[in-house]
Amino acid sequence: MSAAEASERTGTRPVLVLNGPNLGRLGSREPEVYGSTTMADLTEQCVATGRTLGLDVEVRQTDDESELVHWVHEAADGRIPVVLNPAAFTHYSYALRDALAMRTAPLVEVHISNPAARETFRHTSVVAGVADGTVAGFGLTSYRLALEAIAELARAGETGAGQAGSGG
């Protein structure tokens, strides 16, 4: 069953939380940078946050660029909002950026660390330009804030109130 079909059953809004390479190693990967929380903990927290926001959150992680691109296509086809931590793909994957440019629903880029305060190669995001916004530097809280932004953007879309940041 697709994420969209599953949510249709429950009457909640589907959201995909997609994670790129090496994030499956959370907990043991550079804990001084990424903390000690595992991907399983992150998944639990995102699903629980989603429940409080009326979102049916599905969390996925892959080390494979092609798989991530296919998930982005799935989201575009199903008009499913996405919270995306592209991990290292953030900095160089034009294939991922091009896939995201086809999006049909809100997209929030998320990072556990603050790439702007780290090595120079992390200062570039090829994804940021096609996202509604970016949340970075707050550990797992980045995901909660991103889900809140998605809920807000989805609500604004429903009421025709426009998207955050589009006003002036």
The residue type at 118:
R
Q: Which residues contact 33 (CB under 8 A, 6 or more apart)?
A: 112, 113
Which tokens hold the place of 38? 């595992």
Name residues contacting ligand DQA, limited to 45-74 (CB under 6 A).
none
**Least separation, in Å, of the C-beta of 60 and ligand DQA?**
15
CB 113 within 8 A of CB 136: yes
> Which window, 44-52, 95-103, 110-118, 126-134, contacts ligand DQA (CB under 6 A)?
110-118
Which is closer to ligand DQA, CB of 82 or CB of 112?
112
β partners of residue 109: 84, 134
Which is closer to ligand DQA, CB of 21 or CB of 157?
21
* Residue 111 annotated in active site: yes
> Which window, 45-53, 70-78, 85-93, 146-154, contacts ligand DQA (CB under 6 A)?
85-93
Q: Is 38 in the site for ligand DQA (CB under 6 A)?
A: no
Of residues 83, 68, 64, 65, the one with CA closest to residue 143: 83
Q: Is 125 in the site for ligand DQA (CB under 6 A)?
A: no
CB 106 within 8 A of CB 81: yes
Q: Which residues bind ligand DQA (CB under 6 A)?
A: 22, 85, 87-88, 90, 111-113, 115, 122
